[in-house]
Amino acid sequence: MKIVLRNPRREVEVQGPVTVSRLLERLELNPESVLVIRGDTLVTRDARLADTDDVEIRPVISGGAA
């Protein structure tokens, strides 16, 4: 499946099916610091992603110190 990552924007291919939790483990991403969006819908960590899904992994950490 095609995975879009942000900041910087890039794409990676991952073999499905795979759960969101396993996908984040593979990509070494902390689930607390991202949202996973399939199409235009949020999915939870136990969701199973199919090879045909378009998936965005969106970082949520932001901000300066001010």
Partner 1 sequence: MKCRVCREPAVIDVRRHNAGFCGEHFVRHCREQVRRAVDEHSMIEPGERVLVAVSGGKDSLALWDLLVEAGYDTDGLYLGLGIGEYSDHSGAAARAYAGARGLKLHEVDLAADYGYDVPGAAAATRRPPCGACGLSKRHLFNQVALERGYDVVATGHNLDDEAAVLLGNVLRWEAGYLGRQHPVLPARPGFARKVKPLVRLGEREMAAYCVVRGIDYIVEECPMAEGNRHLAYKEALNALEDRSPGTKAAFLLGFLERGHERFAGDAVEEREDLGACTECGSPTTGDVCAFCRLRERAGALHSSGAPDVTVELRR
> What residue has token string 């483990």?
25
Told to check if 39 binds partner 1 by CB under 8 A, we report no
Among 17, 27, 44, 48, which residue interacts with partner 1 (rule: CB under 8 A)? 44
* Token code pair at residue 42: 């949020």
CB of 13 to partner 1, least distance (A): 22
Among 10, 13, 28, 62, which residue interacts with partner 1 (rule: CB under 8 A)? 62
Told to check if 33 binds partner 1 by CB under 8 A, we report yes
User: Could you tell me if residue 20 is left (phi over 0), alpha (psi between -120 and 50 degrees) or otherwise beta?
Assistant: alpha
